[in-house]
């Protein structure tokens, strides 16, 4: 048996949905947080952010108190007008993300580099050269 639910208006539909189910609506919108891989190598940490379809100008990378933040904000607007110049369709799109990473004391903040190629943002965080300290031997008596 089919059950039909009659909705009187857009407002009925809006108010009957679960207002606190933000996570579900966030996923249904098609927007997701980009995946990130962090790889430790001998001389550096490699942070790889999967962000296809973006341009290198879309990224903001900054450091504040040993916290590396990678973010992006993208706004777009499309509009269609009829022959008289009136709007027949106008769409706005806004997407953003921000990812933060606490950097260890052993990194060289002044030499961090970033590149964007084939949909992957690669941030190279080099490690500081750690000088070997003199090892002191203590004789057991």
Q: What residue numbers bound the domain in which 48 lies? A: 34-126
Domain count, the chain: 1
pLDDT of res. 69? 95
Predicted confidence (pLDDT) per residue in 54-75, tens digit: 889 999 999 999 999 999 987 7
Task: Output the pTM of the full model.
Answer: 0.62
Query: Does residue 41 sit within a domain?
Result: yes
> Read out DSSP for 20-51?
T-HHHHHHHTT--PPPEEEEE-SSEEEEEEE-
CATH code (residue 81): 2.60.40.790
Tell me whether residue 49 is exposed, middle or buried, using C-beta atoms within 10 angstroms of its C-beta: 0 to 12, 13 to 18, 19 or more.
buried
Q: Are 97 and 111 in contact (CB under 8 A)?
A: no
Query: Does residue 40 sit within a domain?
Result: yes
Query: Does residue 57 sit within a domain?
Result: yes
For residue 47, what are its two tokens?
Answer: 């942070």
Predicted confidence (pLDDT) per residue in 7-17, tens digit: 444 444 444 44
For residue 126, what are its two tokens?
Answer: 């080099």
CA distance 124 to 61: 12
Number of residues assigned to the chain: 141
């Amino acid at each position: 048996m089919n059950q039909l639910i009659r909705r009187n208006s857009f407002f009925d539909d809006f108010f009957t949905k679960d207002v606190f189910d933000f996570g579900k609506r966030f996923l249904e919108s098609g927007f997701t947080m980009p995946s990130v891989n962090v790889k430790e190598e001998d001389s550096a940490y490699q942070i790889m952010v999967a962000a296809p379809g973006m341009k290198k100008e879309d990224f903001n990378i900054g450091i504040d108190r040993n916290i590396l933040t990678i973010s992006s904000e993208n706004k777009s607007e499309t509009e269609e007008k009829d022959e008289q110049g009136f709007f027949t369709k106008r769409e706005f799109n806004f997407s953003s993300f921000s990812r933060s990473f606490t950097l260890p004391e052993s990194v060289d903040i002044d030499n961090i580099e970033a590149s964007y190629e084939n949909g992957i943002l690669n941030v190279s965080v080099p490690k500081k050269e750690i000088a070997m300290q003199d090892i002191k031997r203590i004789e057991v008596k």
